[in-house]
C-alpha cells in the first residue's frame, strides 16, 4: 500500500494436521512503529481457507502476522494476506 488505508484483513491459511495454530495479526500506521494487535485467531483446518480476521477503520501501512505457541504448538501455512477496502 502506498498510503495509509483501512479495510478488512483476510488471511488464506491452514494448520498442519493435528496442530492448533494460534495466529496474531498486528497493524502499524507509520514508519513501522506503534504496532496494534487487531486479531488473535486459532487455525485448526488442515485445508487452506480464507479467514476474515479483522476490519480496521483507521489507516495502516504495515501488517504483521505471527504464529504463537500457546501450548498447542504451531505449524502454520500462510498462502496470502489480502486487504479489501
Residue 54, pLDDT score: 95
Series of mean pLDDT values for 10-residue runs along the chain (85 residues): 84 93 93 88 95 93 91 90 91
Residue 70, pLDDT score: 84
Residue 1, pLDDT score: 58
Residue 4, pLDDT score: 82
Going by C-alpha positions, the residue among 82, 75, 84 that lies closest to residue 11 is: 82
Residue 66, pLDDT score: 94
Residue 37 · residue 44 · CB < 8 Å: no
Q: What is the pTM of this model?
A: 0.88
Residue 60, pLDDT score: 92
From residue 65, give the alpha-carbon distance in Å to each of 34, 38.
15, 10
From residue 84, give the alpha-carbon distance in Å to each of 33, 44, 46, 72.
23, 24, 25, 31
Domain span at residue 59?
A: 5-84
| Domain count of the fold of the chain | 1
Amino acid at each position: 500500500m502506498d498510503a495509509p488505508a483501512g479495510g478488512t484483513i483476510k488471511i488464506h491459511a491452514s494448520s498442519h494436521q493435528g496442530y492448533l495454530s494460534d495466529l496474531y495479526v498486528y497493524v502499524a500506521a507509520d514508519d513501522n512503529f506503534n504496532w496494534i494487535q487487531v486479531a488473535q485467531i486459532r487455525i485448526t483446518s488442515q485445508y487452506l481457507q480464507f479467514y476474515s480476521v479483522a476490519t480496521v477503520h483507521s489507516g495502516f501501512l504495515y501488517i504483521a502476522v505471527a504464529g504463537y505457541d500457546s501450548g498447542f504448538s504451531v505449524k502454520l501455512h500462510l498462502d496470502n494476506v489480502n486487504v479489501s477496502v
